[in-house]
């Protein structure tokens, strides 16, 4: 057996009444991989992420993370093991300035664990993290209240909030949606840097061109099932994938 | 004793269900919290009394008009107060609570207390079921209760307006984008709930006197049944009514009657421990909201 | 030429808040005045009022405490419709300890405060996982149920209650105890909510999924907030038991649930000073209106409705705005 995978999803299924959002899905993720999760709308990508991060409980199936069975765990416990996610529809605390938004993840027991039992100067850490994702210090944009920030900054804030948790597995749900090409080009280096730091990343995306440039591996979902799993180039040649996205003739 | 307990238990349960359904309709199905419910109940009863006794209308018309007037009161409450604070649950609760309070205490102040305030029984007659004597009014209550539950179920599942009611509770934005005027529908649901309260009052109040304190009891009982049965679920409310209703009657018959009010409390505490969202509760736990 | 109203922070506010470099006596006064006002005001009032109005001040302070306790729960996302639950819990606990075990007030009051907070929190723990409306419903029902339990089972004195309890040493001890606790709660809670802990609580109120997402157990935080608010409420109850030397069913009365909410709504939700202000307005008002009997509650009800619809931010926010900002008309570009 090769080295244990970071994340193992076995036969996971989630039924909402009659709807099978996720239907018998299995895959393994090794440490350091950058996995792209794609598929038409409604194919179960976000549901899968919600299942992995503990926001919803699976109907059947098992999820193993760092060799521990985390099936059915509440989300805050899973985050403490080192999983962090961003939301497709960003969820900032709109009434607070950007750097205050960061205080809340920095108050997390996960951060306490990772910094060896002490919290440290949260305000300073907040500003540093925001600078890393592109909040230029000289413009003091980090002090602006979140409701006044444009989408590009809000997405970066969302990313910063996830990075603050020092995760080993980072899940980005449609980070690029709503961003201009320039903004995406600005964020890509940040993701590259995270990879170099050894983080494992799952990215749900619709913007395939940008995704394919950085992903090691692609999984395609359709109607809650996995229809392809492999290198980007191979996956795009797959007939079933083409039909799923473009519709059959 | 047992047959008596069974029969009266049934009646009590239906009374509870009747009272809880209107509240459940407004909150559970349309998402509008209406803590003025108890006040509307008493208002319905007193309006009937006033129309019948002071204005001398034939009873049938007094009843009809009081139900309509109460429904209008509900609609007005929505139009002038709730409309401005839709969506802010805190404000809705406080405002409706305040209104209910104001109405009940005003009625108390105006002196609507006393034995002369009773509503006439529909038919003053008793029949025997097996070894149990029961008055026809209670039977009438059961019939109305069942009819109204059935109507409510049918209405919310099979008519367009009813489906709209459920639509705005589930996802208001989607409902709006489908052309459902959510404000108008919410107003209708508050009126409906108010009308239900009035009908329940007219049917149940003849059993005793119109006592303004009843307004608070009604709200408490409605809340208790909804908590145990699960807000939003008609089935749950009915089951909870029967559980609590029978438990109460059994307590009266077999234990001492002053333990009666302990029953809803124990039911609430129990359900909170076992399944806080209620028997058929559709309240997803916080984590499960996506 | 169209004009619009523009609101800007006053210079003195800007200089004194973020940067905190105080340059003159005037600025120090600007900052310290709002904080000194309640302290000095309360002390002065306690000396200058007649005995009757001192009793009213006592009552005002108790309700102000309940309102502040309501406010901290509300800021954490929990709308309590039953402050009477905490009040009554504290009242009965201290009454029971005093009557059945003979413990003196300086023991019963602190113990009742902690125990009251603890028991209330445990009772409400299951509903913390559900939507906010459930919390409100359960807090509304519990005190009403508890009244009926006491009435029905006739425990702890039943309908007559327990009387002949130990009073506090002197009138002045009574007054100053409650005033000190009130001020401590006011400034203490403000400190708490301005800290990072409070930030998390406000975050839970705003967007609990986001907080969960940060690996924070929101239920634990809510429970803590509940304990803190509940204990303060329990204190008021325990205190009053020894002032009236009596505890009975009335401690669970609706009055104790409604007035704090009305005070907070009128005075300003989200600022503890506002809740206190609301109590200072409403309680004396209700004293004056005492002659109207039941109509009092009608007024509370109407006040509640009018304020929540027309001026939901409350009076204090309005005053705060005027103090910290000025308005002027500018041309629309």
A109 or A249: whose pLDDT is higher?
Answer: A109
Interchain proximity A54–B288, CB inside 8 Å: no
% of chain A surpassing 70 pLDDT: 96
Instruction: Check CB contact of A110 with chain C, cutoff 8 Å.
Output: yes
pLDDT at C92 over 60: yes
Q: Which chains touch B (3 or more CB pairs under 8 A)?
A: A, C
Task: Work out the minimum CA distance from A171 to partner chain B, whole angstroms.
Answer: 16
Provide the pLDDT for residue A247. Answer: 61
Q: Is A76 within 8 Å of C206 when comparing Cβ atoms?
A: no
**In Å, how far is B167's CA from the nearest CA of chain A?**
17
- State the pLDDT at residue C86: 95
Contact B94 C261 (CB under 8 A): yes
pLDDT of residue C227: 96
Q: How confident is the model at residue A102 (pLDDT cuts 50, 70, 90)?
A: very high
Structural domain for A92, as ranges: 34-41+75-215+222-246
> Cβ(C288)–Cβ(C303) under 8 Å?
no
Return the percentage of chain C with pLDDT > 70, whole number: 96
C297–B95 C-beta distance less than 8 A:
no
What is the distance in angstroms between the Cα of C297 and the nearest Cα belonging to chain B?
6
Q: Are C207 and A91 in contact (CB < 8 Å)?
A: yes
Interchain pair A75, C213: CB under 8 A = yes
Q: Which range among B107-111, C119-123, C329-333 has the greatest average pLDDT?
A: C119-123
The shortest CB-CB distance from C208 to any of B108, B220, B286 is to B286
Bridge partner list, A38: A220
pLDDT tens column, A190-226: 999 999 998 999 999 888 888 888 898 999 988 888 8
Q: Which helix (H) or strand (E) holds B271?
A: helix B262-274
pLDDT score, position C19: 54
Q: How far apart are the first and last CA of chain C?
A: 9
Distances (CA, A) of B130 to B13, B134, B138, B143, C107: 20, 10, 16, 19, 61
CB contact under 8 A, B264 and C145: yes
B103 to chain C: which residues are within 8 Å by CB?
Answer: 301
- Inter-helix orientation angle C314-324/C254-267, to 10°: 20
Instruction: Please calculate the CA angle C257-C259-C263 and round it to the nearest 5 degrees.
Output: 130
Q: Using DSSP bridges, classify how beta strands A217-222 and A200-204 pair: parallel, antiparallel or unpaired.
A: unpaired
Distance to chain C for B131, nearest Cα, Å: 31
Domain count, chain A: 1
Please indicate if any CB of chain C lies within 8 Å of the CB of A56. no
Cβ-count burial B14-47 (b if 16+ within 10 Å, e if not): bbbbbbbbbbbbbbbbbbbbbbbbbbbbbbbbbb
- Residue C282 has a pLDDT of 87
C-alpha distances out from residue C74 to C69, C81, C270, C314, Å: 9, 10, 8, 14
> Nearest residue of A to residue C201 by CA position?
A104
Residues of B in contact with A57 (CB under 8 A): 288
Q: Which two structure tokens, joined as six digits, stand for B177?
A: 């984008």
**Least CB–CB distance from B220: residue in C141, C300, C312:** C141
pLDDT at A151 over 70: yes
Is the pLDDT score of C329 beyond 70? yes
Q: Does A207 touch chain C (CB under 8 A)?
A: no
Nearest to B290 among A54, A55, A74 (CB): A55
Above 50 in pLDDT, residue C293? yes
Quick check: A76 and C196 CB within 8 A? no
Neighbour count for residue B243 (Cβ, 10 Å):
20
Percent of chain B with pLDDT over 70: 86
Question: With an 8 Å Cβ cutoff, is A87 touching chain B?
Answer: no
pLDDT tens, residue by residue, A10-30:
888 888 777 888 888 899 998
Residue whose tokens read 């005045």: C33
Query: What is the distance in angstroms between the Cα of B212 and the nearest Cα belonging to chain C?
Result: 12
Summarised one tens digit per residue, pLDDT across range C177-231 is 999 999 999 999 999 998 989 999 999 988 888 898 898 999 999 999 999 999 9
For the segment C101-123, what is each residue's pLDDT rounded down to a tens digit?
988 888 899 999 999 999 999 99
Is residue B113's pLDDT more than 70?
Answer: no
DSSP A144: S
Chain C nearest-CA residue for A102? C214
Alpha-carbon distance of A105 to A112, in angstroms, equals 11
Among C206, C208, C215, pick the best mutation site for testing chain A contact (most A Cβ within 10 A): C215
**pLDDT higher than 80, residue C312:** no
| C212 min Cα distance to partner chain A (Å) | 6
pLDDT of residue B28: 66
Please list the residues that pair with A20 across neighbouring strands. A15
pLDDT at residue number B287: 38
A50 CB within 8 Å of a chain B CB = yes
Instruction: List CB contacts (< 8 A) between A105 and chain C.
Output: 214-215
What digits encode the pLDDT tens for the residues B185-241?
Answer: 888 888 888 888 888 888 888 777 777 777 777 888 888 888 888 877 778 888 899
**Which among B36, B90, B231, B266 is the top mutation candidate for probing chain C, defined by the most C β-carbons within 10 Å of its own β-carbon?**
B90
> Is B240 in a helix, a strand, or coil?
helix
What is the structure's pLDDT at C7? Answer: 80
CB proximity A55 to B under 8 Å:
yes
Class of domain B2-288: mainly alpha
Q: Which two tokens stand for residue C215?
A: 């690996």
Q: Do B287 and A50 touch (CB under 8 A)?
A: no
How many CB atoms lie under 10 A from the CB of residue C284?
15
| pLDDT above 60 (res A249) | no
Are B201 and B45 in contact by the 8 Å Cβ rule? The answer is: yes
CB contact under 8 A, B290 and A75: no
Instruction: List, in sequence order, every residue forming a beta bridge with A25; answer none if it has no partner.
Output: A12
Per the CB < 8 A criterion, the answer to whether B19 and B220 are in contact is no
Q: Does the pLDDT value for residue B116 go beyond 70? A: no
Note every long-range contact of A49-53, with CB atoms under 8 Å and residues 24 or more positions apart, other chains counting.
A49/A85, A49/A171, A49/A173, A49/A202, A49/A204, A50/B290, A51/A12, A51/A14, A51/A22, A52/A7, A52/A9, A52/A78, A52/A83, A52/A171, A53/A78, A53/A79, A53/A83, A53/A85, A53/A171, A53/C213
The pLDDT tens digits for A35-70 are 999 988 888 888 899 999 988 888 889 999 998 999
Is the per-residue pLDDT at B285 higher than 70? no
More confident residue, B5 or A91: A91
Chain C nearest C-alpha distance from A220 (Å): 26
- At residue C217, the 3 state secondary structure works out as coil
Q: Where are the domains of chain B?
A: 2-288
Would you place residue B14 in the very low, low, confident or very high pLDDT band (cuts 50, 70, 90)? confident
Task: Quickly list DSSP for B144-191.
Answer: HHHHHHHHHHHHHHHSHHHHHHHHHHH-HHHHHHTT--HHHHHHHHHH
pLDDT at C237 over 90: yes
- Confidence category of residue B22, pLDDT binned at 50, 70, 90: confident
Which of B170, B282, B286, B290 would best serve as a mutation to test chain A binding (most A beta carbons within 10 A)? B290
Name the band, by pLDDT with cuts 50, 70 and 90, for residue B248: confident
Nearest CA in chain B to A50: B290
- ipTM of the shown complex: 0.85
Supply the CATH number for residue A147's domain. 3.40.50.300
Top pLDDT among C88 and C54 is at C88
- At what angle are helices B234-254 and B2-24 packed, to 10 degrees? 140
Do the Cβ atoms of C210 and A96 come within 8 Å? no
- The sign of the torsion formed by the CA atoms of C44, C47, C48, C54 equals positive
CB contact under 8 A, C213 and A100: no
Task: Tell me if C126 and B259 make a contact (CB, 8 A cut-off).
Answer: no
B96/B77 Cα distance (integer angstroms): 8
A248: confidence class by pLDDT, cuts 50, 70, 90: low
**Residue B141: what pLDDT?**
81
Taking contacts as CB-CB distances below 8 angstroms, the residues of chain A near B286 are none
- Is A13 within a domain? no
Neighboring chain A residues of C199 at a CB cutoff of 8 Å: 96, 100, 103-104, 107
C3-17+56-331: CATH topology is: ABC transporter involved in vitamin B12 uptake, BtuC (1.10.3470)
In C, minimum Cα distance to A105 occurs at C214
Shortest CB distance from C304 goes to which of B98, B231, B258?
Answer: B98
Residue C12 contacts residue C26 (beta carbons within 8 Å): yes
Phi then psi dihedrals of residue C40, to 5 deg: -60, -45
Which partners does chain C have (≥3 C-beta pairs < 8 Å)?
A, B
Q: Which of C121, C301, C302 to mutate to test the interface with B (most CBs of B within 10 A)?
A: C301
């Amino acid at each position: 057996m090769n080295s244990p995978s970071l994340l193992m999803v076995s036969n996971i299924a989630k039924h909402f009444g009659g709807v099978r959002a996720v239907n018998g899905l299995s895959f393994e993720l090794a440490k350091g991989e950058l996995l792209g999760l794609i598929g038409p709308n409604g194919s179960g990508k976000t549901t899968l992420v919600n299942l992995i991060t503990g926001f919803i409980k699976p109907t059947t199936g098992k999820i193993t993370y760092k060799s521990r069975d985390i099936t059915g765990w509440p989300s805050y416990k899973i985050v403490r093991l080192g999983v962090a996610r961003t939301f497709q529809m960003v969820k900032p605390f709109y009434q607070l300035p950007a750097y205050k938004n960061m205080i809340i993840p920095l108050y997390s027991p996960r951060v306490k664990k990772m910094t060896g039992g002490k919290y440290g100067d949260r305000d300073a850490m907040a500003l540093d993290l925001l600078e890393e994702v592109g909040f230029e210090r000289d413009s003091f944009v980090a002090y602006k209240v979140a409701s006044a920030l444009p989408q590009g900054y809000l997405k970066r804030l969302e990313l910063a909030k996830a990075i603050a948790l020092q995760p080993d597995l980072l899940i980005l749900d449609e980070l690029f949606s709503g961003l201009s090409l320039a903004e995406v080009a600005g964020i890509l280096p940040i993701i590259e840097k995270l990879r170099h730091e050894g983080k494992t990343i799952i990215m749900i995306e619709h913007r395939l061109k940008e995704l394919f440039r950085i992903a090691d591996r692609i999984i395609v979902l359709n109607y809650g099932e996995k229809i392809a799993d492999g290198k980007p180039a191979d996956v795009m040649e797959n007939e079933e994938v083409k039909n799923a996205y473009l519709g059959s003739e | 004793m047992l047959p008596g307990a069974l029969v009266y238990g049934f009646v009590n349960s239906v009374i509870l269900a009747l009272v809880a359904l209107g509240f459940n309709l407004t909150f559970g199905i349309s998402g509008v919290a209406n803590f003025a419910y108890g006040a509307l109940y008493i208002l319905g009863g007193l309006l009937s009394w006033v129309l019948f006794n002071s204005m001398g209308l034939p009873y049938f018309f007094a009843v009809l008009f009081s139900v309509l007037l109460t429904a209008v009161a509900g609609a007005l409450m929505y139009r002038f107060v709730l409309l401005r604070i839709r969506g802010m649950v805190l404000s809705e609760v406080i405002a409706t609570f305040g209104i209910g309070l104001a109405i009940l205490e005003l009625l108390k102040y105006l002196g609507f207390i006393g034995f002369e305030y009773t509503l006439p029984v529909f038919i003053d007659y008793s029949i025997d079921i097996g070894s149990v004597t029961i008055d026809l009014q209670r039977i009438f209550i059961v019939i109305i209760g069942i009819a109204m539950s059935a109507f409510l179920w049918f209405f919310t599942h099979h008519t367009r307006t009813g489906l709209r009611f459920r639509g705005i509770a589930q996802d208001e934005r989607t409902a709006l984008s489908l052309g459902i005027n959510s404000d108008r529908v919410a107003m209708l649901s508050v009126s409906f709930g108010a009308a239900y309260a009035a009908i329940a009052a007219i049917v149940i109040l003849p059993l005793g006197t119109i006592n303004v304190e009843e307004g608070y009891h009604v709200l408490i009982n409605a809340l208790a049944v909804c908590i145990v049965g699960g807000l939003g679920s008609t089935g749950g409310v009915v089951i909870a009514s029967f559980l609590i209703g029978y438990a109460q009657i059994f307590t009266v018959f077999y234990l001492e009657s002053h333990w009666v009010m302990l029953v809803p409390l124990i039911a609430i505490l129990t359900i909170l421990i076992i399944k806080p969202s209620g028997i058929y509760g559709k309240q997803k736990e916080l984590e499960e909201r996506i | 030429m169209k004009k619009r109203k523009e609101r800007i922070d006053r210079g003195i506010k800007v200089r004194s808040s973020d940067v905190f470099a105080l340059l003159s006596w005037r600025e120090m006064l600007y900052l310290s005045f709002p904080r000194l006002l309640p302290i000095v005001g309360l002390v002065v009032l306690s000396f200058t009022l007649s005995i009757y109005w001192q009793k009213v001040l006592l009552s005002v302070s108790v309700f102000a405490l309940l309102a502040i306790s309501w406010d901290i729960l509300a800021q954490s996302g929990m709308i309590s419709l039953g402050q009477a639950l905490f009040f009554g819990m504290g009242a009965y606990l201290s009454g029971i300890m005093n009557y059945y075990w003979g413990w003196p007030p300086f023991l019963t009051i602190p113990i009742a405060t902690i125990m009251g907070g603890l028991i209330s929190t445990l009772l409400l723990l299951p509903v913390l996982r559900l939507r906010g409306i459930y919390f409100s419903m359960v807090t509304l029902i519990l005190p009403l149920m508890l009244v009926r339990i006491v009435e029905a089972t006739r425990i702890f004195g039943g309908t007559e209650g327990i009387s002949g309890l130990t009073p506090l040493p002197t009138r002045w001890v009574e007054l100053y105890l409650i005033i000190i606790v009130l001020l401590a709660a006011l400034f203490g809670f403000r400190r708490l909510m301005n800290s990072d802990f409070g930030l998390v609580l406000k975050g839970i109120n705003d967007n609990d999924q986001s907080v969960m997402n940060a690996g924070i157990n929101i239920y634990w935080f809510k429970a803590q907030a509940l304990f803190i608010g509940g204990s303060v409420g329990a204190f008021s109850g325990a205190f009053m038991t020894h002032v009236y030397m009596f505890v009975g069913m009335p401690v669970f009365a609706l009055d104790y649930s409604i007035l704090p909410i009305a005070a907070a709504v009128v005075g300003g939700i989200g600022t503890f000073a506002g809740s206190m202000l609301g109590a200072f307005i409403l309680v004396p008002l209700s004293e004056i209106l005492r002659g109207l009997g039941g109509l009092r509650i009608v007024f509370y009800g109407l006040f509640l409705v009018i304020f929540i619809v027309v001026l939901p931010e409350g009076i204090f926010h309005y005053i705060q705005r005027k103090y910290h900002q000025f308005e002027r008309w500018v041309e629309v570009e």
